[in-house]
Structure 1
Amino acid sequence: MPHSTTQVEKPPARDADASLSHGLRQRHLSMIALGGVIGAGLFVGSGAGIAAAGPSVVIAYTLSGLLVMLVMRMLGEMSAAHPSSGSFSAHAERAIGPWAGFTAGWSFWVLLCTAVGLEGIGAAKIVTGWLPGTPEWAWVALFMVVFCVTNLAAVRNFGEFEFWFAALKVGAISLFLILGVLAIAGVLPGTDSPGTTHLTDFLPNGGEGLIVGLLASVFAYGGLETVTIAAAESEDPVRGVASAVRTAMWRIALFYIGSMAVIVTLVPWDSKEVVEKGPYVAALDHLGIPGAGQVMNVVVLVALLSAMNANVYGSSRIAHSLVERGHGPRALARVSGGVPRLAVLTSCVFGFVCVVLSHWRPDDVFPWLLNMIGAVILVVWVFIAVSQLLLRRRQERETPRQPVVRMWAFPYLTWLALAGMTAVFVLMAREADTRAQLYYTGGMTAVLAAVGYVRQRRSAGA
């Protein structure tokens, strides 16, 4: 596509961020990176993976964690070289063409806005459990208003909220790991070490159970991309991205894989409480620590609210970057006080519409929406890998300068990551529960790609 090459080689992402404030400090970015890896998917969604895979869920989280590490390394290489609030969408546009930036960006925007609604519903369920009789929708509306106002005011407000949210999550899961290890070692007062009794049936549901656990674990890692979006509004974007990416390995290994290992060692994998109460609450209840289960429910609530806040922020910045690059209504690009306020409002309204649909059309429209976003994160990862492959080769041809963050063993691990993503797509097609998500997400991606390509051709013709 000779017409698109000149257009792609422009550095739109850097210019697009010029009107945004740079109010995030290094401590904000550091804690966003640290706490962002501890998402709602870890606390809420891991129970289904344990119920399906049993103790082998540790293998599932290890495999998916390795894939995520590679994705983060690739994204970090591009984001350190070209910081942008458009993140992978801007990188895809530079590497592949405007249609790719359009497709990756708007599909991710739909995912984030829908996730805002889902996390609001999850948080409201916890609160109504404490305050029965109060309407869920009212709590969701309250959470929406709080985070909408927070993100409308200044980016530093988002940073402060995430700083303290992340500090609480990190503190809670660190304490959980310490208590769990002490209990396993048999030195926690009032508890007996279970030894390896809960690990003997390592693959209780065979390979199929491991596959289900693997698919559940892949989607639990969603949200790690936020730090590369936020870095563009920080005082030192390159340093922030480099630091976050370089510490991603130990954070994933400790918080995800480590906590899964502690849970399946302490609690029987087939305990109903693992799914009903959540694996972390079940493990703490098993230790007999008074009130620990309710404390963990507070932590889960914080994780959901943190994810809401991060997704309102991320969706508004992705939308702003897209329209700045000519991929949407210009009104969304307006910035006031360093904040794209109309983009924030639009993202919040879309998220609340999802909540309304969950009540009004729970049997048709809402499931269709959930299926449509089911595999979006994998589509985004494919764009990241292909973009990094192309941009790294281009950079090597044009200049001998080494990237600030380098992808390991390039290009072999990039190709390995793409092979891993392909394998996940194949596994999704094999499983009845995930096949619909694959088809619906594929349909949305195809439609967006077609629209983006037509827009690109028209722009080139003009």
Structure 2
Amino acid sequence: MASPEPRALKHGLTSRQVSMISIAGIIGAGLFIGSSKAIATAGPAILLSYLIAGVLVLLVMRMLGEMAVANPNSGSFSTYAGRAIGPWAGFTIGWLYWWFWVLVISVEAIAGADILHAWIPTVPSWLFAFLIMAALSGTNLVSVRNFGAFEYWFSLVKVVAIIAFIVVCGLAISGYWPLAQASGVSNLNAHGGFMPNGFGAVLGGVLVTIFSFFGAEIVTIAAGETANPKEKIRRATNFVVYRIAVFYLLSIFLIVCLVAWDDPTLVQVGSFQRALEILNVPGAKLMVDIVVLVAVTSCMNSGLYTASRMLYSLGERGEAPRKAKHISRNGVPTVAVVGSTLAGFVGCFVNYALPGQVFGFLLSTTGAIALIVYLVIAVSQLRMRSIMTKQGIDPAFKMWLYPWLTWFVIVLIGAVLGYMVLSPSYRYETLMTAAVAGTMLLIALVRKKSEVNHYKIESFS
């Protein structure tokens, strides 16, 4: 009797779902709320911060796209790092990435729960967080198509909201908005100039904004569960420049035109809400709260999907418990989904049981993970291209100006990480991230040594 074929991830995502995820994947609560802190830090020059961060992400996505088109894989850059740099690199970056997303799941659940609690105060915030996580875990466990369906509609709401915001603010600065007198771009220079806090604040703004873009790489993971993944990855990578230009640069430009960067209520209510309040848009707070709730739920949904697929990939490569690679009949890595969800629950429990203590410490460990992931992607692409060249393989989708732009990204990220270590504002988070990364690396090296010793013992016997 023939043994049954091993189960594998299914191509359950449709083309339109992957397209929408690629378009709106980087629109999160960081844009709607976090941008206010960035604007207050750098002033109108925050546009330069978003531009620098956007160019960096564009180049990193191009490098990742080159490797992903050549070999679509649910482990994405973790798999490529293992092949190009060494198993220790794939192990370390894979677990770091999983660690980042399970903490993000907790953060977004708490943020969404706070919004719902404000609407319905009789229900405790922790219960809302539990219900949100349980609901999204359930949809992810049924099938990848469910994840895609939810994420498609979440993404559509975000895209429509951003476009509506751009239209309203565009009418305002053009002098055609009837509800308020707010036209022109005078705020760009009216309060201490375009760069009121100097170029150092622009660099600080880059460190804030870079994390708003983190998540663009999810499409290279999701594309592995759709038909014709290479074409989807190619198209999504090309979309990055438009997403950055329209959703971030244009919307932030309109905000700094309408809202003074030193407006005392900017950080309190968020940049998008403050802009709508200045324009006397009725129900501005409610509308922004609804969009932010959708954004955080979307981020949780994507985070759970991404964390589970990374854990599954680690299990498949023998770098996580073997049960993590278990796949249901519907093609879902159920153990990886449940494991990632439970880790998110632990984060939420710690936050509510010990508010402002342990959870704040855990969050500090993610401070530089995005930059470390980008650095590993760049080094992996540099070495992978060299390997392919030696093998006579010509990539179908290439990084621009190789190897010069790749080296530029490596040097730039190294400089930013160095700045973070030297800066008192970012040193603690950077060192905490280094401690977690060092722990992961140590585990990887110990595993490698034990495997070598095991092989020697078997060979001797």
SS in 2 for 1:37: coil
Tell me what 1:374 maps to. 367
Q: Which residue type is aligned with residue 383 of structure 1?
A: V
Return the alpha-carbon distance in structure 1 between the equivalents of residues 393 and 219 of structure 2.
Answer: 28
Structure 2: stretches of 5+ with no match in the other structure? 1-5, 456-461
SS in 2 for 1:122: helix
Asked if residue 313 in structure 1 is aligned to residue 305 in structure 2, the reply is yes
Tell me what 2:343 maps to. 350
Tell me what 1:390 maps to. 383
Asked if residue 261 in structure 1 is aligned to residue 250 in structure 2, the reply is no
Tell me what 2:107 maps to. 118
Return the alpha-carbon distance in structure 2 between the equivalents of residues 57 and 238 of structure 1.
Answer: 35
Q: Check the 8 A contact 1:242/1:404 in 2, yes or no.
A: no
Q: Check the 8 A contact 2:7/2:328 in 1, yes or no.
A: no
Question: Aligned residues, how many?
Answer: 445
Q: Check the 8 A contact 1:41/1:222 in 2, yes or no.
A: no
Tell me what 2:424 maps to. 432
Q: Check the 8 A contact 2:7/2:327 in 1, yes or no.
A: no
Could you tell me the percent identity over the aligned residues? Answer: 42
Tell me what 1:444 maps to. 436
Superposition deviation, residue 127 in structure 1: 1.2
Between 289-298 and 451-460, report the one with greater CA deviation. 451-460
Asked if residue 26 in structure 1 is aligned to residue 15 in structure 2, the reply is yes
TM-score normalised per structure 1: 0.94
Superposition deviation, residue 133 in structure 1: 3.4
Superposition deviation, residue 368 in structure 1: 1.8
Tell me what 2:45 maps to. 56
Tell me what 1:88 maps to. 77
Cα shift readout 1:391-427 (whole Å, capped 9, x = no counterpart): 01111121242x2321111111111111221122122
Asked if residue 192 in structure 1 is aligned to residue 184 in structure 2, the reply is no
Cα shift readout 1:290-346 (whole Å, capped 9, x = no counterpart): 123321211111000000000000000000000110101111111112011111011
Cα shift readout 1:83-104 (whole Å, capped 9, x = no counterpart): 0110110010110111111000
Return the alpha-carbon distance in structure 1 between the equivalents of residues 87 and 417 of structure 2.
Answer: 25
Superposition deviation, residue 275 in structure 1: 1.0
Q: Which residue type is aligned with residue 33 of structure 1?
A: S
Tell me what 1:329 maps to. 321
Cα shift readout 1:49-80 (whole Å, capped 9, x = no counterpart): 01111101101100011001011111111111
Return the alpha-carbon distance in structure 2 between the equivalents of residues 153 and 219 of structure 1.
Answer: 30
Structure 1 consecutive aligned stretches of length 4 or more whose deviation exceeds 6 Å? none
2:120 to 131, 137, 142: 131
Tell me what 1:456 maps to. 448
Tell me what 2:292 maps to. 300
2:135 to 110, 130, 146: 146
Return the alpha-carbon distance in structure 2 between the equivalents of residues 272 and 460 of structure 1.
Answer: 60
Pairwise CA RMSD: 1.4
Superposition deviation, residue 236 in structure 1: 1.4
Cα shift readout 1:156-184 (whole Å, capped 9, x = no counterpart): 00000010000110011011111111111
Tell me what 1:159 maps to. 148
Return the alpha-carbon distance in structure 2 between the equivalents of residues 429 and 238 of structure 1.
Answer: 38
Q: Which residue type is aligned with residue 197 of structure 2?
A: N
Q: Which residue type is aligned with residue 113 of structure 1?
A: V
Return the alpha-carbon distance in structure 1 between the equivalents of residues 147 and 393 of structure 2.
Answer: 38
Return the alpha-carbon distance in structure 2 between the equivalents of residues 208 and 400 of structure 1.
Answer: 43
SS in 2 for 1:297: helix
Q: Check the 8 A contact 1:69/1:249 in 2, yes or no.
A: yes
Cα shift readout 1:107-148 (whole Å, capped 9, x = no counterpart): 100100000000001111111122223211000001001100
Q: Which residue type is aligned with residue 20 of structure 1?
A: L
TM-score normalised per structure 2: 0.94
Q: Check the 8 A contact 1:54/1:202 in 2, yes or no.
A: yes
Return the alpha-carbon distance in structure 1 between the equivalents of residues 209 and 121 of structure 2.
Answer: 32
Return the alpha-carbon distance in structure 1 between the equivalents of residues 228 and 266 of structure 2.
Answer: 42
Q: Which residue type is aligned with residue 61 of structure 1?
A: Y
Q: Which residue type is aligned with residue 35 of structure 2?
A: S
Between 254-263 and 271-280, report the one with greater CA deviation. 271-280
SS in 1 for 2:216: coil
